[in-house]
Structure 1
Amino acid sequence: MTDGYGAIVRGDTAVKSIALVFTGDEYGDGGEVIRQKLERHDTRASFFLTGHFYRNPEFAPLVKQLVEEGHYMGAHSDEHLLYCDWARRDSLLVSQKQFSQDLQMNYQRMAGFGIAKADAPYFLPPYEWYNQRIAAWTKQEGLQLVNFTPGTRSTADYTWPEMGNRYVSSEEVYQSIMKYEQQDPHGLNGFILLVHIGTDPRRTDKFYNRLNELLTALKGKGYTFVTIDELL
């Protein structure tokens, strides 16, 4: 399923598979917890990380382990650029040259961990915010733009209490996923479920601490977890 801006946002709704996707830029505090829970469930996930994340020496051991354990390792831009205006989505904030150079640098950072561009053909844009021009530029780079499947609050797991009404607790995130699964005629079939590998310290209620509970519940409902390239 492709959205109106050119990104694939869902796989085959006839197949009971989910792609669990983690994005990361400056924070990686949940990395080891996530890695261990995935290992416990013998589950492979997809990690879309910025060049900033890949080049952070603090995160290098984690990235190496994720690569060794067979997870999909993807690009999320080098410097986590905002491509489009929040209020006017058709208004670009970067040139094609800036977009291309930044993306190429992200893949250069990945190459340092033995991740070839050919093995990471799906690109998840920073802030999950883009337009048709970005999708077209992505194709010109030989890549396919992807984004999360809308409908749950999973992407709000980065919020913290001081945000006021924008704050979403981990319980609310969890319940939104389970509620969607019950209400959508296709459940979570073909779903691209996005959460963050780390969050601001001001958020103490970390959703990644509920990953084991989530995997157990959804596997109990008959879902299998696959990498993004397997889903699509």
Structure 2
Amino acid sequence: MRIFKKKNRIIIILASMLLLCSAVLLFFNIDLNASKPAEANQTETNQKIANPEKPVNPTNSDQTKKSESKKVVYLTFDDGPSKLTENFLDLLKEHNIKATFFMIGKNIQNPDYQKNMKRAVDEGHYIGAHSMTHDNTKLYKKKQFLSEMDKTTSLIQDVIGQSPKLVRPPYGSAPGLNNKGIRDQIAKKGLKVWDWTIDSNDWKLKDNPKQIIENVKQHTSKDIEVVLMHETPQTLEALPEIIKFYKDEGYEFDVYSESAHFVCNFQKDERL
């Protein structure tokens, strides 16, 4: 009887152990199976990170490349306002192009020209100062550069309601602004100076617009170009072909922005 009871105990113990082992195996089997989808998902995610899908639209990639190698041209016109300002504005509007004008104080004082200054600003162009007199002796030898620019920017303010920060030295900042003392004063005043990267020499090519076009074409070489032109009849005649040339070369046209100023002066003065 005792032997029988002992055997029953052993059987019960073995059966309990067997049930326990089965339960343990069943638990781990379910857990492992449940974890497989997560592992598979993680593997798929890692593969996507390592091998990103190609863009669906190939033009997205093309656009990125275009923006990285963008070429920009700034058309600038000196010595206005003039009787031709309206014609220049008409032509620029026709081609949907914004430009930068540098105007002379003594011309701004002519009431007949002021309406086109307002129109220029309304149509998105920028007006900078180009001195009162354009007189080399007064500006540089007699050191009236800053006072003339002050008067000119004040006149511009009176006409268009905005006082520009950008000025263009007549005849260029070299040699005009070789004197560091003058540049110190300009920088302290908060003014910026723009020269140019291409001189069209249009002012001395009367009745020869083809040469103006050739000058521009021959000297275009950089991704960013600032083209010096003037409000003259020959420039007006050459302008459509100049615009076509830059479009064909893949340039975008832009207008000066004070918030996006970049250095473009012969003195290479980073303050200006």
Q: Which has the higher contact order (CA 8 A, sep 6+)?
A: 1
Is the counterpart of residue 196 in structure 1 residue 196 in structure 2? Answer: no
In 2, Cα distance between equivalents of 1:170 and 1:43: 20
Within 1, Cα distance between the matches of 2:74 and 2:228?
8
SS of residue paired to 1:175: helix
Partner of 1:214: 242
- 2:195 counterpart residue number: 147
Tell me the alpha carbon deviations over residues 50-85 of structure 1, each in whole angstroms, 9 at most, x when there is no partner: 111211122112112101111011101122231589
- Tell whether the 8 Å contact from 1:18 to 1:231 is kept in structure 2 after alignment: no
Within 5 Å, give how 1:38-117 maps onto structure 2. 38-82=92-136, 92-95=140-143, 98-117=144-163
- The root-mean-square deviation of aligned C-alpha atoms, in Å, is 2.5
Partner of residue 204, structure 2: 159
Structure 1, unmatched stretches of 5+, are: 1-13, 86-91, 162-167, 182-186, 199-204
Deviation at 1:223, TM superposition (A): 0.5
User: 2:149·2:167 contact (CA, 8 Å) conserved in 1?
Assistant: no
* 1:132 match: secondary structure: coil
Could you tell me which amino acid in structure 2 is paired with residue 144 of structure 1? K
Q: CA deviation at 1:109?
A: 0.6
- How far did residue 18 of structure 1 move? 0.7
Contact 2:76–2:229 at 8 Å: present in 1 too? Answer: yes
Partner of 2:251: 223
TM-score (norm 1): 0.72
Residue 100 of structure 1: how far off its partner (Å): 2.8
Alignment-mate amino acid for residue 197 of structure 1? E
Q: 2: CA distance between counterparts of 1:30 and 1:16?
A: 29
More helix by percentage: 2
Structure 1 residues 101 and 179, CA gap change in structure 2 (3 angstroms): closer
Give 5+ residue unaligned stretches, structure 2.
Answer: 1-68, 263-272
Q: Could you give the per-residue CA deviations for residues 186-206 of structure 1, whole angstroms, max 9, x where no partner exists?
A: x242111010013xxxxxx61
CA distance in 2, matches of 1:171, 1:29: 23
Native 8 Å contact 1:135 1:145 kept in 2: no
Instruction: State which of 205, 208, 212 in structure 2 corresponds to 1:169.
Output: 208
Cα gap change, 1:173 to 1:94, in 2 (>3 Å): same
**1:22-57 deviation per Cα after TM superposition (whole angstroms, max 9, x unaligned):** 0115x7243122111110111100001011121112
The aligned amino acid for 1:158 is W
Q: Partner residue of 2:170?
A: 126
